[in-house]
Amino acid sequence: MGSLIGHGLEQIGSDAYRAVLRAMSEHSDGWVTKAQIRKATGISESKLTNAINALKTRRIIVPQPGSAGVYKLPTASFPFWIKAYTKGREAAVEPGERR
């Protein structure tokens, strides 16, 4: 996970990326379907697909071998880190302010 923290902060700057990771963190390091992520985030299909593809490319999420549309976070500790990171980012935005 050190490599994720070392370069991951810049790579999860998008609101959609953070929303996907936050939704996945609710499942700890278990497998999560794209439909579950969509339901939890409310992100449009195109933004969700783009976010998932970007996170897979950056190796921030792991696709389930042999199963399309199923992903997990890379380590058991990553969900705790992403919850703390996204909570901190959300708290830094004033009410009504957009990023």
pLDDT at 11: 54
CATH of the domain at 23: 1.10.10.10
- Residue 6 pLDDT grade (very low, low, confident, very high; cuts 50, 70, 90): very low
Closest among 80, 84, 79, 90 to 24, alpha carbons compared: 79
Longest dimension (CA), the chain: 43
Pairing of strands 62-63, 70-72: antiparallel
pLDDT at 39: 97
Sign of the CA dihedral with 74 first, then 54, 99, and 20 last: negative
Q: Is residue 78 one of the residues assigned to a domain?
A: yes
Q: Is residue 79 one of the residues assigned to a domain?
A: yes
Q: Is residue 38 one of the residues assigned to a domain?
A: yes
**Domain span at 45:** 2-6+14-91
Q: Is residue 76 one of the residues assigned to a domain?
A: yes
Q: Is residue 96 one of the residues assigned to a domain?
A: no
Q: Is residue 98 one of the residues assigned to a domain?
A: no
pLDDT single digits (tens) 31-71:
999 999 999 999 999 999 999 999 999 999 999 999 999 99
Tally the domains of the chain: 1
Verdict on whether the full-model pTM lies above 0.85? no
Q: Is residue 99 one of the residues assigned to a domain?
A: no
CB distance 45 to 38 below 8 Å? yes
